[in-house]
Amino acid sequence: MTRLRIIAFAFLVCTASMFTAALGANEARTPRLVVLDVELTGDLGGPEFAAEHEARLKLASARLREDLAATGLYELVDTTPAHDTLAQLKSQHRYLHDCNGCDLELGRRLKADQVLVAWVYRVSGLILTLTYEIHDVPSSQIVARKSFDFRGDNDTAWRHAIDYMVRDIKASPPAR
């Protein structure tokens, strides 16, 4: 009888340990984050700057993804499987950061936990603001939002702004 109790107790302890470990692993899971391309609004400076801004936006978006991935805070989600949805959203909305939650549709399709939208508001060639929002897909709530002013519409200034934004996110990660 004692031997049976010991076996039963060991089974219960083992089962409880596995259940607790499974819960802990689920809670400790790295959130899946969709990072949309950085957008540019405001005074765009005219058509002569269009190619320059397009190249700068691509560089800023790539740097943002690379730097966020390096923090280990998120598992970045590849948007390639939702290319058609993304193209449709871009054709329907001028800016995805201001589309009343259309980014959440993309997040759901990609099974992401959160979506990051970022944009630069260009007041002039000297005064710019980088803003980001992180939207929680299940609750449709904004869990983080911050703006950073920077000076100079050039690659160096944009790179510094993106770097600063990522350092800030790392220092105070949004709620999960």
* Coil/strand/helix, residue 138: coil
Contact 135, 110 (CB under 8 A): no
The CA distances from residue 76 to 10, 44, 108, 116, in Å, are 40, 30, 14, 10
Output the pTM of the full model: 0.79
Report, as an integer, the average pLDDT of 130-159.
96
pLDDT in tens, 91-119: 777 777 767 778 998 999 999 999 999 99
Reported as a pLDDT band with limits 50, 70 and 90, residue 84 is confident
d(Cα 75, Cα 68) in Å, to the nearest integer?
9
d(Cα 53, Cα 119) in Å, to the nearest integer?
12
Structure confidence at residue 23 (pLDDT): 46
Residue 12: is its pLDDT beyond 60? no
Reported as a pLDDT band with limits 50, 70 and 90, residue 90 is confident
